[in-house]
Amino acid sequence: MLFDLKNKVAVITGGGSGIGKAVAEVFAEQGAQVCLLEIIPKAAKETAQALSNQRLLAKGYACDVTRQAEVVTVIQSIVKKFGRIDILVNCAGIAHIGKLETTSEEDFDKIFQVNVKGVYNSMQAVIGTMTKQKSGVILNVGSVAANVGLPDRFAYSMSKGAVVTMTLSTAKDYIKEGIRCNCVSPARVHTPFVDGFLKKNYPGKEPEMFEKLSQTQPIGRMAKPIEIAHLALYLCSDEASFITGCDYPIDGGFIKLNN
């Protein structure tokens, strides 16, 4: 079977919703033992339980990726239980709207803690195990915001630029240890965040604004989380064993065709 993840242990941060949840579902369907790290315990439990109900292998862990000691403790418990970690997918992240002058220090620090330090904490927690194994795959979720200038996305763009460069550095430093590290950079994806954003900022105009946002993608719609998950599956599978140190836009033509 192509893209077979049987006997592989996959850790997915932000696995309780959005892209992370879709990645968890797709990886579990391909046979992986999925370990979901999620700041909301209920989301982690419900997602893992739903997969377990389908006789898929999944376990949820409450974890705040901004807290290094907490991440290390959870990763150590996973290694103790399953003996290894083959895949790490960093999906945990938050968004922020604002340009330089409207981004407060508090906003900037919060974005940095989750989107940058959270990725650092998770990668650092697994790299020792992967080095000992002489194998492993790390996949980070970036954004088109790291490649083009987006209006009102100052702090968010900063954080995703850091994710891409951390990806390249990690790929370079650990290639001799058999560890691959790549990044996917989506354009706008229809997740619960989008629905919440529209409800908060455009009450009563949600359908109209949803369509407007969709049309900012040249392909004419937002991505579905499962479409990001399918690319993640390929990059984390043995079929992609020759790929490392790359950032893959998955953007409906946003970067190249949005003239």
Q: Which tokens hold the place of 78?
A: 């996973």
**Residues 61, 120, 156, 174: which is the catalytic one?**
156
Residue type at 183?
C
- CA–CA separation, 193 vs 95, rounded Å? 8
Whether the predicted pLDDT of 137 surpasses 70: yes
Whether the predicted pLDDT of 259 surpasses 80: no
Q: Which tokens hold the place of 95?
A: 């968004």
Q: How confident is the model at residue 253 (pLDDT cuts 50, 70, 90)?
A: very high
CA dihedral of residues 148, 150, 156, 162 (deg, nearest 10)? 10
177: buried, middle or exposed (CB in 10 Å: 19+, 13-18, 0-12)?
Answer: middle
pTM of the model: 0.96
Q: 3-state secondary structure string, 214-229?
A: HCCCCCCCCECHHHHH
DSSP for residue 203 = T
Q: Which residues contact 181 (CB under 8 A, 6 or more apart)?
A: 137, 138, 139, 140, 167, 170, 171, 174, 244, 245
Task: Reply yes or no on whether 61 is catalytic.
Answer: no
Q: Which tokens hold the place of 144?
A: 């088109």
Q: Across the strands, what pairs with 100?
A: none
pLDDT in tens, 66-121: 999 999 999 999 999 999 999 999 999 999 999 999 999 999 999 999 999 999 99
Q: Which tokens hold the place of 58?
A: 């999944």
The helix (run of H) or strand (run of E) holding residue 77 is helix 68-82
Domains, the chain: 9-187+224-253 (3.40.50.720), 190-222 (no CATH)
Q: Are 113 and 70 within 8 A, CB to CB?
A: no
Got the DSSP string for 154-201? Answer: HHHHHHHHHHHHHHHHHHHHHGGGTEEEEEEEES-B--HHHHHHHHHH
pLDDT in tens, 153-188: 999 999 999 999 999 999 999 999 999 999 999 999
Q: How confident is the model at residue 200 (pLDDT cuts 50, 70, 90)?
A: confident
Instruction: Taking residues 56-62, report their average pLDDT.
Output: 97
Q: Are 143 and 96 within 8 A, CB to CB?
A: no
